[in-house]
Copies of this chain bind each other. A is one copy, B any other.
Amino acid sequence: MSSVYGKNLIVSIFGQSHSEAIGVCIDGLPAGKKIDFRELKKFMGRRSPGKNEYSTKRNEKDDFEVLSGIVNDTTCGAPFAAIIRNMDARSSDYKEIMDIPRPSHADFTAQMKYKGAQDINGGGHFSGRLTAPLCIAGGICRQMLKHDGIEIKAHISEIHGIKDSLFDPVNIDMTPLDDGFPVLDKAKGEKMISAIDEAKKDDDSLGGIIECAICGLPAGIGEPIFDGMENRISSAIFGIPAVKGIEFGNGFACSKLKGSQNNDGFYINDNKIMTKTNNSGGILGGISSGMPILFRVAIKPTPSIAKAQDSVSMSKMENTELVIKGRHDPCIVQRAVPCVEAAAAIAVMDLYIEYTGRRI
C-alpha cells in the first residue's frame, strides 16, 4: 500500500517536499455531508510552521485547493482531492545529503530502497510536510465524526521530561484547547517552551509524548485479532514521521500492575454499563467498550539539528562529519498534536463507515 490507508475509506497521500504540489485523495467519504472549510483551515493552522519561535522558519503556505468531491461545500460521493502548492522551497540546502545521509533521517534507507532515484530535496516524500495533506484528510473525518457525536482531542503530555496533566481516563474534558501551545496545564507548557528554546540555542532538538482521546464512539466497533481498534489506530499513527511508539490505556505501565489492580471493574451508572477505571483505554478484544479511547504516542526529537554529527560519504565509503544547514524545528511535538488527531480521525472514520454501512 505504502502511502495509502484504509479499507472502506481510502486515503492516498502524494507529493514530495519540493514537488509541484502535495495532496491527498480520499475515496469513500459519505455523501451529503457539509464541510466547514473555515474550520478545516483553522485545524490545518494548528500544524502550520512559521507561527512562532519554536517552529521552522520556512514560510509554508498551507492554503489547499479542493479539486474534486465537493459541491456547494458538501461531499458529493465522488472522491475528494485537494492539493497544496509547494512555494518557498530552497532545494540547494539539500545537495549534500544525497551522498552524506542525515543521522536518524530516511536519507539512508531511501537510498537503499530507491538506489539514487529518490527525491532528496527537503526530505522528499519522507518530509514532515506530508503531514499537511494528512491533516486535510483527518480534519474532514474529524468534522464528520463530530457531527455524529464522536470527538477527538490530543495534547502534549510530555516534552523532555516536563509532564503536562493527563486526561481523567473515565471523564475527559473534551473542550477544545485554545490556539496556543497545546497543553492542559499552561504553566507546564511555558516550561516546555523554555526547554525548546534552550535546545534551539544549543543547536539541538527535543522529543515528547502526545496523549489522545476519542470520546463518543459507540461500543461494539472494531474486529477481532488483526483488525481491532488498536491494530488500525496504530497503523495510521505510525504514518506520522517521528512516531516511535504507541500505547493504549495505561499501556506499558500495565506491566507493573497486578490483574486485580489493572482490571477495569464494571458498574451501572445512570442505567449505562461503565467501568470505574479505564486502564484498557476503552478497547477490549479490539472492540470499543463505550469508554473513552485513550492512547499515547512517542515522538522522537527532530533528527535535523545544526550540531555537527557523525555520518558517512556513501560514494567514498568513508566516515565524515555532517553539519545540516537549512531551517528546522527544534521540536515538532506541538505540531504533531493535530497530526495525531488527524491520523486517529482517519482510522476511526474508516472503522465507523464499516460499522454504519453505506445505506443512507
Contact = CB atoms under 8 A, between A and B. Distances in A.
A83 B104 contact: no
Interface in A1-57: 1-5, 7-8, 10-16, 19-23, 25, 27-28, 31-32
Contacts of A19: 67-70, 78
A255 B210 CA distance: 10
A77 interface: yes
A287 B112 contact: yes
A31 B115 contact: yes
Contacts of A284: 104-106, 108-109
A81 B24 CA distance: 10
Interface residues of A, number: 158
Contacts of A8: 7-8, 354
B68 A204 contact: no
Contacts of A271: 317
B117 A71 contact: yes
A174 interface: no
A262 B27 contact: no
A200 B255 CA distance: 16
Contacts of A256: 160-161, 207
A307 B112 CA distance: 54
B357 A358 contact: yes
B268 A77 contact: no
A17 to B, nearest CB: 10
Contact of A206 (B258, B268, B288): B258
Given A259-B305, A262-B301, A310-B267, A108 B244 contact: no
Contacts of A59: none
A223 B106 contact: no
Contacts of A273: 108, 312, 314, 317
B305 A205 contact: no
Interface in A205-258: 205-209, 218-228, 230-232, 234-236, 238-239, 241, 243-252, 254-258
14 contacts: A2-B10, A2-B227, A14-B27, A20-B66, A76-B124, A78-B118, A109-B222, A109-B285, A130-B225, A161-B256, A234-B246, A241-B285, A244-B252, A263-B303
